[in-house]
């Protein structure tokens, strides 16, 4: 139970770390509390609503009652399984915008600008355009992570993109390439009909090496001796054991569990730790602060033609899809069904997209509940850069206790204005001629809801998390009192301890966060190995030349 590097969490970043560190010849032990990802519910892309709602695979976290959302407690699924949240997510692949990473650098994350991170996105990718175009020069071709596009056979996928064009928005062949802004195909971490999670991409190849091992257990605390992390205490088979690190300990346990583990180890806000009887080893007030997420609403339309996925939403349809997938990893089961997307700006004066769309040719919730009206389709839409901030704190000093999660959603007046804008812009898109053959009426919010107050009521009752929590161990300058880690991921005030997952994001990126989470693991592996980072890129992403004066 000793290795050069001990990684807590076999999730998106942890698997990438294990792969790169073991590839370099270092010995690695990965601690993971969850179990196997083998089985159709995880591996079949179209079954994505199942694993994130199964206690076997999910930590089952919920937010505290949200004061601005009528006291609702929102689900916060986190993967408790090999592959972490990459094994239970929607498999959508979005790098983020160049200006997201340039912002990281501007607030103290030196070496994490877009020019620095683009080479790591390329290193991790094995990209295929599927005949739909794209920016090959911007993409990677030999990495472990397969990124593909769905077949886009349903006519509603094309209608969504054409409606965006008719509404005056640009089109983009590749939102992960030169131009994010616009309407076009969506990308997914699916390969040969299977979910291509971090477990499939990184962990399984790493575990084939003699110097990489997986240890099942619940991480209880980081073991510190004279201000240095020397190992991790775990609970395994009913007893406590210590897994020791010769070189460093790395927390890659998620933006919920990494700050929790730091606080259980005496690293965090001093007064809060003392309240729970925990000896303060490093007073870092930023641990657990800066919690961010994306919220979205599902704007649903009833369809006038029976062409949506609802025709398969019965026991026989699901059995046929399952049989096709089991026999040949083909058919509807082989895609997450998010095959068209858009990134737009909410208003003039916004420099780069701050609204994201996922389009789905069915009206259904993430928990698998279909709209009562049958055939329909929907756009998931929400703002990308809310100023609302929340926190993760301890409920108790018991390692098995769930933390207290307060997102503080919709706490800024701008949040409400942004969401009303999202609804109105989406209605305009669905009113374009491209959708005329397919639209029957609006299911939700419902065409009768028009005023600010009516829309605000709908938002408060219906907005949902997009499941992108991040930011709780913020990366910044070593002299920043609110930063938790420095730009090399080192926990400030402790030797031999790093954090490498979405918790280090200074600010949430533009889009789904799985791709940048994996990138963090890729880049942090070079810091751990004391290697010179990959050479900076010179590519410049497109910014709408009229952004100061026009919304589109």
Biggest distance spanned by C-alpha atoms of the chain: 70
Contact 184, 173 (CB under 8 A): yes
- Binding site members for FAD: 81, 89-92
Look up residue 347 and give its two tokens: 């208003």
Q: Look up tokens 């204005």; give the residue.
A: 417
List, in sequence order, every residue forming a beta bridge with 283; answer none if it has no partner: 268
| Burial call 407-446: b when 16+ CB within 10 Å, e when fewer | bbbbbeeebbebbbbbbebbeebbebebbeebbeebbbbe
User: Cα separation of 506 and 126, whole Å?
Assistant: 27
Q: For residue 273, what are the contacts with CB-CB under 8 A and spacing of at least 6?
A: 263, 266, 279, 280, 394
468 is catalytic: yes
User: Cα separation of 421 and 355, whole Å?
Assistant: 10
Q: For residue 59, what are the contacts with CB-CB under 8 A and spacing of at least 6?
A: 77, 78, 79, 80, 256, 257, 402
What is the DSSP annotation of 433-492?
GGGTTTEEEEEES-TT--SHHHHHHHHHHH-EE-S--B-TT-B--TT-TT-SB-TT-BBT
Please give the distance of CA 284 from its chain centroid, rounded to a whole number. Answer: 25
Q: Look up tokens 């990473």; give the residue.
A: 101
Contact 44, 200 (CB under 8 A): no
Choosing from 33, 68, 97, 468, which is the catalytic residue? 468
Length of the chain: 552
CB atoms within 10 A of CB 348: 12
Write out the catalytic residue numbers. 468
């Amino acid at each position: 139970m000793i290795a050069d590097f001990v990684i807590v969490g076999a999730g998106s970043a942890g698997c990438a770390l294990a792969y790169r560190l073991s590839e370099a010849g270092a010995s690695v032990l990965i601690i993971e509390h969850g179990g196997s990802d083998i089985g159709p519910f995880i591996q079949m892309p179209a079954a994505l609503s199942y694993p994130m709602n199964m206690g076997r695979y999910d930590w089952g976290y919920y937010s505290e009652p949200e004061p601005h959302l009528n006291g609702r407690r929102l689900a916060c699924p986190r993967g408790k399984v090999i592959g972490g949240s990459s094994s239970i997510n929607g498999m959508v692949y979005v790098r983020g915008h160049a200006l997201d990473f340039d912002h990281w650098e501007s607030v103290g994350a030196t070496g994490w600008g877009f020019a620095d991170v683009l080479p790591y996105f390329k290193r991790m990718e094995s990209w295929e355009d599927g005949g739909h175009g794209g920016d090959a020069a911007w993409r990677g071709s030999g990495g472990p992570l397969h990124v593909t596009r769905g077949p886009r056979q349903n006519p509603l996928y094309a209608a969504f993109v054409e409606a965006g064009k008719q509404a005056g928005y640009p089109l983009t062949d590749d939102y992960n390439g030169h131009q994010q802004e616009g309407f076009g195909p969506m990308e997914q971490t699916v390969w040969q009909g299977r979910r291509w999670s971090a477990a499939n991409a990184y962990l399984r190849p790493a575990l084939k090496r003699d110097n990489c091992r997986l240890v099942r257990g619940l991480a209880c605390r980081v073991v510190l001796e004279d201000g240095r992390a020397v190992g991790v205490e775990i609970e395994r088979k009913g007893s406590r054991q210590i897994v020791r690190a010769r070189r460093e300990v790395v927390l890659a346990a998620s933006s919920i569990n990494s700050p929790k583990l730091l606080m259980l180890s005496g690293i965090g806000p001093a007064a809060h730790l003392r309240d729970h009887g925990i000896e303060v080893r490093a007073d870092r007030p930023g641990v657990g602060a800066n919690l961010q997420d994306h919220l979205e609403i599902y704007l649903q339309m009833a369809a006038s033609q029976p062409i949506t996925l609802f025709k398969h939403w019965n026991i026989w349809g699901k059995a046929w899809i399952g049989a096709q997938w089991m026999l040949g990893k083909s058919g509807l089961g082989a895609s997450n069904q998010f095959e068209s997307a858009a990134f737009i700006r909410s208003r003039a004066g916004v420099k780069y997209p701050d609204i994201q769309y996922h389009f789905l040719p069915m009206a259904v919730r993430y928990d698998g509940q279909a709209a009562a009206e049958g055939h329909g389709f929907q756009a998931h839409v929400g703002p990308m850069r809310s100023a609302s901030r929340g926190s993760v704190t301890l409920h108790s000093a018991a390692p098995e206790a769930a933390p207290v999660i307060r997102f503080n959603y919709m706490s800024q007046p701008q949040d409400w204005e942004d969401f009303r804008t999202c609804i109105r812009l989406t209605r305009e898109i669905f009113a374009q001629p491209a959708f005329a053959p397919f639209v029957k009426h609006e299911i939700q919010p419902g065409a009768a809801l028009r005023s600010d107050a009516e829309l605000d009521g709908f938002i408060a009752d219906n907005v949902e998390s997009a499941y992108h929590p991040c930011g709780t161990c913020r990366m910044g300058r070593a002299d920043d009192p609110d930063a938790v880690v420095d730009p090399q991921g080192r926990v400030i005030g402790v030797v031999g301890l790093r954090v490498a997952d979405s918790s280090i994001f200074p600010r949430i990126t533009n889009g789904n966060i799985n791709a940048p989470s994996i990138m963090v693991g890729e880049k942090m592996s070079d810091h751990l190995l004391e290697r010179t980072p990959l050479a900076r890129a010179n590519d410049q992403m497109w910014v709408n030349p009229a952004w100061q004066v026009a919304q589109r």
